[in-house]
Amino acid sequence: MDMDVDEEEQAYLNGGSGRGSPPEDAFEEPPKPKDPEECKEEGNKCFKAKQYPQAIEYYTQAIELLPSEPNYWNNRAAAYISLKRFSSALSDSLQAASLQKSSPQAKTLIRLARCQLALGSPNTALSTLRQALSLEPTNSAALTAKKGAEKLDGYLKTCLDARERKDWGVARLALNQLISECEGGGAPEWRLWSVEMEIVKGKWEAAAQSASDALRINENSPDALALRALVLFLTNRLPQALQHAQSTLRLDPEHSKARLLIRRIKEVERLKEEGNSAFKSGRLATAVEKYGETLEVIGDNEEEGHGGIIRATLLSNRATALFKLDQYEKALLDSNAAIELHPNFFKAIRTRARIHQALENYESCVIDFKNALELTDVDESDRKNLKNELKKAEVLLKRSKSKDYYKILGLSKTCSEIEIKKAYRRESLIHHPDKGGDEEKFKLVVEAHAVLSDPQRRDRYDQGFDEDGQTESSGGGMGGGMGMSQADLAEIFASMHGGGRAGFGGGFGGGGFHEHPFGGRGGFSF
């Protein structure tokens, strides 16, 4: 009989942990007794002393001497359970139950159900416990185990149903309950579900860790290896992904997911390289096309985290090419999508900052440059360049909240002195009040010219210093010439008359115009 090892199990079934730790005392290799019962008794002594490995040795000797005795199998199963080796315990419990087939024992069936439950088969455990209760309807251990099995079975059904509906939050919660409350950690596929749910959420570090854990538990699992390959692919580690997928096929040559993934990896590698080559050689339109083809192969399925980091990388690449093609709105869409997939993606954030600058979204530009600088994986060269770009963006932001003299004259920031003079004359003719123009706009034209035509003031303005567009000798009204020379004004007014200089009375002293060139007196009042 095996009643000597039941106390440990009874503590577990009555609500205790039953998880005593064996003492650290070294135990010498036991001598081999000649009698199986003697072996069993020695095993029981070791079991009570929580020397479970030694107990297993004695029970194994008893089984070798008399394999038809179910109690020896039961006792060794109990020792395996104490070591949380539930697969071995399940095998022994099944053997014991088989030997007792003609006269089933509730105790054996309860132990078998415990193993089934620990290995993630609550429905099978319930079936076994119903059989035990048919033999002993009031068996408290069986009733307790049945409640636990029903609870886990409920969690499992909830998880499966939620996965079917793609309700990943509920599925994750139910799976966590399953794993935490299952004595043996559950079925191997539960670990794979955990990886899949991390992928859906785009939690790539957690997905990689879960995939490694699943492989550690069952290193020869083709499914675990294939899932690890998928995580590597989605995190843009293509060579490693290919190696894992190929290893999967060595374990299972018919593994369809691994075969499909291998083809996908190779296609992505080819198209991505074609896009990069086109970009480097300046064939930007071709690069955009190839990156687009690569994105189609990657896809954006929810079950794959909408394409993960590798999709973010290709979106960022395409955004850069579109930016260089001056297709800013399309580039912005790709950058936004890349950052949504990979929030700390330095290159995508930097590209988006530059796009915002080109679109004159200066506040967003400054925010993105600052966010890029806060990332820890930025090297010193990039950090230095970013600081310079941020400084320029801050100048542009400050200027955008005041007067943009370049914009007033319709000029680029890199315009020449000749372009400034031409723009000034053009805009003055357009906005002069006596030709139906707007006086306020004319004032701005004069201010812009006063600053941009002076190299020192222009340089200060470009650095973000305030410049009000007035000369040091500016006075009230039109006094001081508003930053214009007499020759410039004369040329402008002559152009308005269609040729020849208009006459001026008294020049441009502090008293303003003595006679308006188009008739009348008094001039402008600022």
In a domain, 418, yes or no: yes
In this structure, is residue 228 part of a structural domain?
Answer: yes
Residues 228 and 271 in one domain: yes
Query: Is 181 within a domain?
Result: no
Torsion of CA 324, 327, 330, 331, to 10 degrees: 20
pLDDT classification of 503: cutoffs 50, 70, 90: very low
Judged against a pLDDT cut of 90, whether residue 399 lies above it is answered with no
Residues 202 and 274 in one domain: yes
Using CA atoms, how far apart are residues 143 and 374, in angstroms rounded to an integer? 58
CATH number at 443 reads: 1.10.287.110
Assess contact for 22 and 52: CB atoms under 8 A.
yes
Q: In one letter, which amino acid is 299? A: G
Examine the domain organization and report whether 208 and 337 are in the same domain.
yes
In this prediction, what percent of the chain has a pLDDT beyond 90? Answer: 69
Of 33, 207, 85, 326, give the one whose Cα is nearest residue 41. 33
For residues 193 and 132, membership in a common domain is answered with no
Question: Looking at 70-74, 335-339, 401-405, 449-453, which range is the least confident one?
Answer: 401-405
Q: How confident is the model at residue 10 (pLDDT cuts 50, 70, 90)?
A: low
Among residues 343, 374, 396, the one where a domain terminates is 343
CATH of the domain at 277: 1.25.40.10
Residues 156 and 218 in one domain: no
Residue 4 in this model has a pLDDT that exceeds 60: no
Whether 157 shows a pLDDT value over 80: the answer reads yes
Give pLDDT, residue 18: 45
* 519 pLDDT higher than 80: no
Please state at what angle helix 362-374 crosses helix 380-400, rounded to 10 degrees: 160
Confidence (pLDDT) at 340: 97
Closest of 402, 425, 417 to residue 458, by C-alpha = 417
Smallest Cα–Cα separation from 452: which of 509, 399, 510, 495? 399
How long is the chain?
526
Dist. CA 173–CA 175, nearest whole Å? 5
Q: Is the pLDDT of residue 90 over 90?
A: yes
What's 84's DSSP letter? T
pTM reported for the whole predicted model:
0.72
Q: Evaluate whether 244 touches 214 at the Cβ level (below 8 Å).
A: no
Residues 193 and 112 in one domain: no
Q: Do 163 and 19 fall into the same domain?
A: yes
Q: Do the domain assignments include residue 97?
A: yes
Are residues 116 and 213 located together in one domain of the fold? no
pLDDT of residue 7: 54
Is residue 73 within 8 A of residue 89, CB to CB? The reply is no
Token pair of 52 as six digits: 């479970």
pLDDT at 490 over 80: no
Residues 345-388 have pLDDT tens digits of 999 999 999 999 999 999 999 999 999 999 978 888 999 999 99
List of residues 6+ apart from 391 with CB closer than 8 A = none
Residue 482 domain boundaries: 405-497
Is 524 part of a structural domain of the chain? Answer: no
40 and 138 together in one domain:
yes
Q: State residue 500's pLDDT score.
A: 44
8 A C-beta contact, residue 40 and residue 24: no
Q: For the chain, how many structural domains are there in total?
A: 3
Could you tell me how far CA 381 lies from the centroid of its own chain? 25
Mean pLDDT of 224-235: 97
For residue 357, which phi and psi values (nearest 5 degrees)?
-65, -45
Q: Which residues contact 256 (CB under 8 A, 6 or more apart)?
A: none
How confident is the model at residue 472, as a pLDDT?
A: 41
**Is residue 331 included in any domain, yes or no?**
yes
Q: Please enumerate in sequence order all residues whose Cβ is within 8 A of that of 281, keeping only pairs 6 or more positions apart, or say none.
A: none
> Do both 162 and 227 map to the same domain?
no
Do 137 and 231 share a domain, yes or no?
Answer: no
Domain boundary among 168, 199, 226: 168
In which residue are the tokens 């193993």 written?
Answer: 115
Residue 164 exposure: Cα atoms within 13 Å on the Cβ side: 6
**So what's the pLDDT on residue 17?**
44
User: What pLDDT does 3 receive?
Assistant: 44
Do residue 205 and residue 328 come from a single domain?
yes
The pLDDT tens digits for 418-456 are 999 999 999 988 888 877 788 888 888 999 999 999 999
pLDDT band of residue 29 (cuts 50, 70, 90) is low
219, pLDDT greater than 90: no
Cβ atoms of residues 207 and 199 within 8 Å: yes
Question: In Å, what is the CA distance from 491 to each residue of 222, 470, 497, 508?
Answer: 85, 21, 10, 15
Burial class (CB in 10 A: 0-12, 13-18, 19+), 29: exposed
Least confident of 96-100, 182-186, 382-386: 182-186
pLDDT at 79 over 60: yes
pLDDT over threshold 60, residue 494? no
Reported confidence tier of residue 516, pLDDT bands at 50, 70, 90 = very low
